[in-house]
Amino acid sequence: MDLYLGVDVGSVTTKFALITSDKKIYSSCYLKTSGDPIAALKTGLKYIQSHYPSGGVIRGVGTTGSARHLAGVVVGADMVKNEITAHAVAAITLLPEVRTVFEIGGQDSKLIIIRDQVVEDFAMNTICAAGTGSFLEHQAVRLGIPIEEFGKLALQAQQSVRIAGRCTVFAESDMIHKQQLGFGKPEIIRGLCEALVRNFINNLATGKTILDPIVFQGGVAANQGIVQAFHDFYQGKYKIIVPQEHGIMGAWGAALLVLAAKQEKTSFQGFEVINRSYENRSFTCDDCPNSCEIVVLKEENKVKALWGSRCGKWIPELVDEKFSEKEEKTLSFSKNS
Amino acid sequence: MVLEVLYPALGIEIVPPPPITKKTIEIGVKLAPQNACFPMKVTLGNFIEGIEKGADTIFMAGGVGPCRFGYYGQIQRIIIEDLGYDVNFVLIDSPRYGWKNFFSSLKTMVGGKWSISHIHRAVRLAWNVLRYVEELEKTSRLVRWKLKDPSQLDRLIEKSLKEIKNITSVVQLEEIRSNALHEISQLNTLEKNEPIKIGIVGEVYIAQEFRVNFNIEKLLGNMGILVDNSVSTAEYVLNFFPLTRSREKEEAWKLAKPFLKRFVGGEGIDTVGSTIRYAQQGFDGVIHLYPFTCMPEAVAKSIVVGVGREYNIPILHLAIDEHAGEAGMITRVEAFVDVLEMRRQQKVRKASCS
């Protein structure tokens, strides 16, 4: 059986999707990145290894998400794609007539406009993270409610309280103010959900024509309060679909993209990656006033990849393989002529 | 860059500010008013670094009209004075707003001790250098997308720019120029289909200065995209004088007419006109670069959205300032390129169906 693996390493969560050549998801997982993308990658690979069809062969790997380059090097990706394209491809495959995609993840949110199965326009939040998952999680902790219960509670509210959602800090202080006034938790949560939806629409949808059906994906789509707030915003006129796979759409998209590329050979490193040792360190290059922060990724004590230099001179082939921590500052370089 | 040639040719020692780095930007951001635009902050950082290297006179272009650029020179002068630096700050305004002032600043600029013919020779050389630097940029845009190893091109450009720093005559420049252009034409290329074409429009400083726009031309070129930039410093200088505006500029202004009749400051009209020009020339997309909070470009942006709709051409707007993150920008640019590629495939599919 031919299989394709999609990996989406985001700022907050890491997602894996293993698909078959008929685009169906065979197995998938959704984990916390917890600030350590490499550990999350290993855990994910372990899960996929234990949920793997006998006789299956991985023919291609695609990575996406904010750590797509790191993940690409560690896992051995055939395709490294931005998350906007990955999410769009997944939504189009799921629902060919889709015309708008809302994607709200841990640290950013996206709006993708699709017409005739082609992305026409997109926007990513630039100003503020008030509409995203991290913010919601933070507020849930403040209110003492598990994030899983958060959305359900919002649905219980008879009415909502208007909360200023322009910015994270203001939303938080306004929420505390409403608590002090004596409003109940469900009303406040519903108000918060509505504020976040307003924030999303104001920040991303200005000047864009939103048409339904809308596919709402990303981790936050699990929050029924937010889904309801979107319905209320459009007064129930728009069809909003939350796919069952909403959390792993990016990973699925990455797998679909690599499947569509039909390449002959894969650079997949295999499940041995789980047992290899990785180390990432950074240092400041002092060769010019740009003071680039260079990230070094070592695999089994060998330099595998370097990121972050503006001039582009830091490439693994040019760095002495054995350079120790001390030597890092006084670079042992064989300059490329 | 150009001044580095002009002044030695005039016998005046010049102190070129070090290239723009993170440090330059940090200095500028720290000293400038927070709501000033990014070009003002970066140039202020340039001046301070230049002064620290020993410069005693600073030249800054002035201006009038709706763009705040016109009064930035004055603010920079006050900031530099407040810091206690003892330098001569010369503001050069367009001669359209008074020839007398223009000549008196020019006189300070050359130190007031040279003959007209001497100045003429030096200015001519500097002008040719500017034209050459832009020609080099243009040539690399035309070839980069199909190169086997784009880093070879980077090395050739670097070498040539180093060479022109020591020249004293147009003849020498011509020799360097023909050498470099020949070497570039000899670079190994790959067989490729018709590339995706993207035009760059926007504010002159951000759209031109590769050290602040994350070198977007190179980024796109290395992705296999043919880039054109509607913005040019030489054009900007020509526009400073009456009657020397180029044909492209006149054309862009004419094209912009149905959308924008009035001068809105800066490059507002050019942004609108050039977007239309690219759409008419069959470009796949347009990237609009501008400093965050830039008034003229904010006006242009809302008009360009309508232009994009009317001419059915995708436009990516990128506002750049000291807070702009490189990762976020690259993600957007990559996604934009995917959009253009998908549109192209769809067009091919539709054409083959009918």
Q: What is the pLDDT of residue A326?
A: 43
Supply the range of the domain harboring residue B168.
114-144+147-191
Q: Which residue of A has its CA nearest to B158?
A: A311
Which domains are present in chain A?
Answer: 2-87+250-274 (3.30.420.40), 96-242 (3.30.420.40), 277-337 (no CATH)
CATH code of the domain in which B33 resides: 3.40.50
Lowest-confidence pick of A134-148, A165-179, A290-304, A311-325: A311-325
How far is B202 from chain A, CA to nearest CA, in Å? 19
Q: Which residue of A has its CA nearest to B334?
A: A82
Check whether residue B344 and residue B260 sit in a common domain: yes
Number of compact structural domains in chain B: 3
CB contact (8 A) between residue B305 and residue A207 = yes
Check whether residue B275 and residue B313 sit in a common domain: yes
Q: What is the pLDDT of residues B282-328, one digit of tens each?
A: 999 999 999 988 888 988 999 999 999 999 999 999 998 887 778 88
Check whether residue B93 and residue B229 sit in a common domain: no
For the cut 80, the answer to whether the pLDDT of residue B98 exceeds it is no
Residues of B in contact with A289 (CB under 8 A): 18, 21-24
Q: What is the pLDDT of residues A134-162, one digit of tens each?
A: 888 888 888 888 888 888 899 998 888 88
Q: What is the pLDDT of residue B1?
A: 44
Check whether residue B211 and residue B331 sit in a common domain: yes
Residues of A in contact with B302 (CB under 8 A): 207
Residues of A in contact with B328 (CB under 8 A): 124, 126
- ipTM computed for the complex: 0.84
Where is the domain boundary, B135, B159, B191?
A: B191
Three-state DSSP class for B85?
coil
A68 and chain B in contact, CB less than 8 A: no
For the cut 70, the answer to whether the pLDDT of residue B102 exceeds it is no
Check whether residue B35 and residue B127 sit in a common domain: no
**SS3 per-residue string spanning B111-145:** CCCCCHHHHHHHHHHHHHHHHHHHHHHHHHHHHHC
For the cut 90, the answer to whether the pLDDT of residue B68 exceeds it is no
Check whether residue B209 and residue B311 sit in a common domain: yes
User: How far is residue A55's CA from residue B303's CA, in Å, rounded to a whole number?
Assistant: 58
Residues of B in contact with A120 (CB under 8 A): 314, 339
Check whether residue B187 and residue B204 sit in a common domain: no
For the cut 70, the answer to whether the pLDDT of residue A315 exceeds it is yes
Check whether residue B101 and residue B154 sit in a common domain: no
Check whether residue B177 and residue B218 sit in a common domain: no
User: How far is residue A41's CA from residue A49's CA, in Å, rounded to a whole number?
Assistant: 12
Tokens of A83: 């998350």
**SS3 per-residue string spanning A11-33:** CCEEEEEEEECCCCEEEEEEEEC
Check whether residue B137 and residue B273 sit in a common domain: no
Q: What is the pLDDT of residue A57?
A: 93
Pairing state of beta strands A13-20 and A79-80?
unpaired
User: How far is residue A4's CA from residue A257's CA, in Å, rounded to a whole number?
Assistant: 9
For the cut 90, the answer to whether the pLDDT of residue B134 exceeds it is no
- Average pLDDT rounded to a whole number, residues B44-68: 79
Pairing state of beta strands A109-115 and A57-64?
unpaired
Mean confidence (pLDDT) of chain B: 83
